Chain A
Amino acid sequence: MSVGATTRLSRLLAMVPWLLRRQGVPLEEAARHFGITTEQLVKDLELLFVCGTPGHMPDDLIEADWESGRVYLDNADAISRPLRLGVDEAVALLVGLRTLAQVPGLHDRDAVESALAKLSSAAGEAAGVADSLTVDLAHGTEEVTLAAVRDGLRRHRRMHLRYLVPSRDETTERDVDPMRLVAVAGRWYVEAWCHRAEGVRLFRLDRVVTVDVLDVDGTPPPEAVSRDADEALFTPSPDDLVVTLDLAPGSRWVAEYYPVEDAEERADGWLRVRLRTANPDWVPRLVLRLGGGARIVTPDDIAERLVRTASAALAGYDRA
């Protein structure tokens, strides 16, 4: 399907009823309402101008006049009412709203509930299809944290975070200027200019221990540029340390979850993976978590650290 043509047709069918009810609306206002440029709006009007009922004699065609800078439309009775939602269209918005409804703190709850009710009644049969598509974006996120960050973002306030770094088992303190609140892979992050790191950082909201919205302007400096959140999370640097792991069949998910450089199939469904990391502290923690589902092949010092840690941990259970 040609996305361009159907999207444009859909816009035209929405635009005609709107313009018919607002004769003389300025071009700029109409363009803004439909989120397009004035040039695009004029192209749309030029297209409407040559369409009409069969016969396509002058009397059959849609009349459009915009030379004065204001739009007048006539002779478009057949399409004078806005087109109903298609199934996929209704599903997309219904599922989107339901997804938001599970994330308290992100938005005006009453508006989501009432929009859901109205859209469900307008959607007809599509409401049933929407039941079969679900998205979980609420996983492990605290309402108060989300609400506070959103507040800081909206009012452009600096925020003080106590932030957990589990890979080093450390709680850090930092002032940040919020830029975006973004969901990546089912988790919420705030992208912000971090004054401690003097750079743009992503902070996972479920690792924010406390957040205080300060009474200080939090407009990020000009050099704070948003990055593609997915890339920012998973782009290793060439200077990083290379770690090689053997993964048991039950631990193969690690290869999907972490940025693995290459993976090699081994006997009996084992997988040998190589990954790069700036700070390998998390590697022994991961391998302990897997509890015999993975083994560190290289580097040796990380492998030795794992053995020491596991032995010391087990000693705690011997004594107790």
Chain B
Amino acid sequence: MSSLRTERLLNLVIALLATRRWLTKEQIRHAVPQYAGCESTEAFDRMFERDKEDLRELGVPLVTGSDSAWFDDEPGYRIDRAAYALPEVELTAEELAVLGLASRVWQQASLAGPAARALVKLRALGVETDEESLVGVEPRVRSAEPTFEPFYAATRDRAPVSFRYRRPDGEAAERHVEPWAVTSRSGWWYVVGFDRDRGQPRAFKLSRVTGGVRRIGRAGSYEVPDGVDAAAYVAGAPSSARDGREVRLRLRAGRCAALRLRARPDDVPDGGVRGPDVAARAGWDLVRIPVGDPESFAEEVASNGADVVVLEPADVRAAVVRRLRGALALQQGGQSLDGPDRTTAVRREVSR
């Protein structure tokens, strides 16, 4: 099957490249022997439409036009020969090797096919590649997300979409979005775009999209603002004013291995001006750790339980204490969550 189809497409490409004139659909039907099997004009039309799509996807510059400026002729087709060819780029063996590695990013994702085809085209330019040095390296990203492809295509084509989206709290609603960018972070895919319902840019996690993605407008029907930093939308706005502070902590000797990776010893002399807590207790180490986001740092500290105490600053201390109290209160208070009253009470207590 595949042979017949490839044969048809190849003959179509050759016919449209070789012609000096515009070829009408009827002429194309006769020029490509594999179209002879079409029983009806409708069947041929359908097949030809699909073939045009396939060629465009491969990068074939298919153009339509007419030789006559005076008559309202049926438009014809041909391939723009000047635009057809790959520009003469000279790639070194090392460059081809990293291009091979770059294609492996998509190994398990829906762009795997285009990536592999691109590599074959570039290899056709000549040089041998040296991939030996990159054997065993797999920089892959997954797009198991069924909505990756429609979101990517809508972003590429600048076509607005609608989809059903479940918020983190479980509420689901229909959203109408002009996609600006698709981005992957920590293995999750997100689409960032202008949310027509909210009138603001928003990020959506693809795993929370339920059902399909529908286009609700034409391609090219909106502009994407310059310099959209999709990753920043996904990460949320960092509290930059608080960035780069140092937190002083007490770590139990031999514990908190992960925190220690980023820690340096606190060289302030013991029993200094900071009060009684500063004195190193036996079995504890005083350290400093540079901290970006205090809330996520507090989460990490809390997970270490009684093996760590934050000494200062006060807001990080408070953030840790809040988490510890929250976990304790919920564990001790919530014997059963079956009653809605109880759940509400618990939620109020733990809400930040």
Q: Which residues of A contact B (CB under 8 A)?
A: 1-15, 17-18, 21, 33-35, 43, 47-48, 50-54, 56, 77-79, 81-93, 95-97, 99-100, 103, 106-108, 110-112, 114-115, 118-119, 121-122, 129, 131-137, 139, 150, 153-154, 164-166, 169-171, 178-187, 207, 209, 230, 246, 248-250, 252-253, 256, 265-272, 284-296, 303, 306-307, 309-317, 319-320
Contact = CB atoms under 8 A, between A and B. Distances in A.
Contact of A6 (B58, B85, B111): B58
B116 interface: yes
A91 B114 contact: yes
Nearest to B50: A1
Given A2-B2, A118-B90, A310-B328, 5 more contacts: A78-B18, A96-B99, A291-B299, A291-B322, A291-B324
A248 B347 contact: yes
Interface in B150-190: 152, 155-156, 168-171, 180-188
Contact of B98 (A112, A121, A181, A253): A112
A111 B134 CA distance: 13
Contacts of B185: 136, 139, 186
A13 B281 CA distance: 74
A48 B112 CA distance: 26
A43 B118 CA distance: 21
B83 A84 contact: yes
B105 A95 contact: yes
Which of B58, B60, B170, B339 has its CB near the most chain A CB atoms (within 10 A)?
A: B58
A309 B307 CA distance: 9
B74 interface: no
B100 to A, nearest CB: 10
Contacts of B290: none
B331 interface: yes
Going nearest first, the 6 A-B pairs with the smallest beta carbon separation are A292-B326, A291-B323, A185-B187, A96-B102, A86-B59, A292-B350
A106 B101 CA distance: 10
A320 B284 CA distance: 13
Interface in B123-146: 123-126, 128, 133-142
Given A84-B59, A292-B330, A313-B305, A10 B94 contact: no
Contact of A270 (B84, B261, B324, B337): B337
Nearest to B153: A88
Contact of A107 (B53, B89, B98, B277): B98
Contacts of A316: 250, 306, 309
B101 A100 contact: yes
Interface of B: 2-3, 5-7, 9-11, 13-15, 17-18, 30-33, 50, 53-54, 56-61, 83-87, 89-92, 94-99, 101-106, 111, 113-126, 128, 133-142, 152, 155-156, 168-171, 180-188, 207, 224, 228, 230-231, 250, 255-258, 261, 277, 298-300, 302-309, 311, 317, 320-332, 334, 337-340, 343-344, 347, 349-350
Contacts of B207: 256
B257 A166 contact: yes
9 contacts: A9-B6, A12-B10, A14-B121, A18-B126, A51-B14, A82-B124, A180-B138, A289-B300, A306-B331
Contacts of A309: 305-306
A182 B138 CA distance: 5
Given A10-B58, A314-B324, A33 B123 contact: yes
A303 B308 CA distance: 20
B57 A310 contact: no
A78 B14 contact: yes
A111 B97 contact: yes
B98 A183 contact: no
Contacts of B104: 96
Given A92-B114, A252-B168, A267 B337 contact: yes
A317 B118 contact: no
A179 B138 CA distance: 11
B117 A249 contact: no
Interface of chain A: mostly helix, strand, loop or mixed: helix
Given A1-B54, A52-B14, A292 B323 contact: yes
A145 to B, nearest CB: 11
Contact of B87 (A15, A121, A132): A121
Contacts of B53: 1
Nearest to B309: A316
Contacts of A317: 309, 317, 320-321, 324
Given A107-B101, A132-B181, A267-B340, A284 B305 contact: yes
B2 A5 contact: yes
B189 to A, nearest CB: 9
Nearest to A265: B170
A99 B322 contact: no
Contacts of B61: 84
Contacts of B94: 108, 110-111
Contacts of A246: 334, 337
B117 A7 contact: yes
Contacts of B250: 316, 320
A89 B122 CA distance: 11
A51 B10 contact: yes
A296 B250 CA distance: 28
Contact of A93 (B7, B115, B320, B338): B115
Contacts of A4: 2
Contact of B89 (A96, A122, A187): A122
Nearest to B141: A135
Contacts of B59: 83-87, 89
Given A8-B2, A134-B231, A293 B95 contact: no
